[in-house]
Amino acid sequence: MSEATNGNGELPAESLPKWLPNITLEKAVQAQIGDFERIISVSPQKGSSEGENYSSLFLRLLVEVELLDHSTKSISFVLKAQHNNEVMAAILARLKLFQKEELMYHSILPKFEKLYADAGKPIQFAPRAFKVDRDLGVDYILLEDLHRKNFKNANRLTGLDLDHMLKVLEKLAAFHAASACYVEHHGLFGEEFTVGVFSEANRQLLQEFNASGAFLAQLKKWKNAQKLYEKLADSDDYLVDRLLQDQQYNAREFNVLNHGDCWANNIMFQHDAFGTIKETLFVDFQVGKYGSPANDLYYLILSSAAPELKTAKFDYLVRYYFDNLVENLKLLQYHRPLPKLKNLHAALFRNGLAAYMVVSKVLPVVMLDKTNNANLESYISDESKMKAAMFTNPKYVQVMTEVLPWLDNRGLLDWK
């Protein structure tokens, strides 16, 4: 069920987190608009619609401010905080996802952007992040409200057209290049990024989260899919072993910090009056992972490119990304040997499991129409209505009748 709001969109007090009244925004307001007289009011509104957010609580904070000349100004922030749901909160706490994201917004991303500023090419990767004035006792991220600057998500159900895909790949290549140069300047990322969630300690959670029962039960019913079903039927027996193995980064290869969750809902676009894309920003940095760029490329292209682009333009999109990557590495004066396109394709070939994970775990969520039941518990539970809807969705089945044979023909399902 969605939470009721009062007439002006504000959430009723009883539905808000108990800690929210303790929030103080003086520092954040000053960082956004400079000196001011006082904050008149803070009005929390719902920040994400049902079926669009799985792991966190989102609130939009509308702040009325009295300026030094006693006029008033309205500004807003987006507050991302740990979920009220205890199961989800426990998973997030165990995986330290908020701590990772805070590190990204307040430390790592500013350093990425400084690399480009120093090279004479100002760039922005994400919304600006702010600190509140005192410890709230909960994990949170406070961000500028990109909607105020007319940023929007593309329609995840139709997928990104070629123009939008190319803009995302330009920004992703710049992000990856910055991460490779960051390692040269600041040393290797910490274990939360080099290992991340892919550790033996998280085996059970990975097993639950990646169980393929519901997907395979539907695959068995699809036309002309018997051979694919037989190839994948026992994949749950070895999938997590292979996942833990594949996600260990190889220091001898070209590695980047992958965004890790690079799909349509985590990409914001700003357009001009004629519909031309002016700016592209990423949000949600909780699951960044150091390793092969093959991970982000599969994730982005197979989850979020429009169906007619996913396979037909796959190699073109990889080439476009690669050319931008090399251009940015040269600009930032990367000292190691530049990556070669053939090595990127070899990495894509070796990481076939990553492609399968995207089309069997992420794509069905992306293509599912809004559901009030969108949460991690529903996603994990094989018996849930959400799982049934995901894998019987005719649009998903149609896309998979093309994508799955394509993966198989490239040898990307031979990871047993």
CA distance 383 to 370: 19
Mean pLDDT for the stretch of residues 275-280: 97
Mean pLDDT for the stretch of residues 313-326: 98
Q: What is the pLDDT of residues 370-392, one digit of tens each?
A: 655 555 555 555 557 788 889 99
Q: Is 362 exposed, middle or buried (0-12, 13-18, 19+ CB in 10 A)?
A: middle
pLDDT value at residue 93: 78
Full DSSP string of 105-169: IIIIHHHHHHHHHHTT-----S--EE--SS--SS-EEEEE-GGGGTEE---TTT-B-HHHHHHHH
% helix, strand, coil for the chain, step of 5 = 50, 15, 35
Residue 83: pLDDT band with limits 50, 70, 90? confident
Q: What is the pLDDT of residues 196-207, one digit of tens each?
A: 999 999 999 999
Q: What is the pLDDT of residues 19-49, one digit of tens each?
A: 888 888 999 999 999 999 999 999 999 876 4
Q: List b or e across 37-66, with b for residues whose CB sees 16 or more CB atoms inside 10 angstroms.
A: eeeeebebebbbeebebbbbbbbbbbbebe
- Of residues 380 and 114, more confidently modeled: 114
Domains and CATH numbers, the chain: 13-98 (no CATH), 150-410 (3.90.1200)
Q: How many CB atoms lie within 10 A of CB 337?
A: 8
pLDDT value at residue 88: 73
Highest mean pLDDT among 157-166, 195-204, 210-219: 157-166
Residue 18: pLDDT band with limits 50, 70, 90? confident
- φ, ψ of residue 172 to 5 degrees: the values are -65, -40
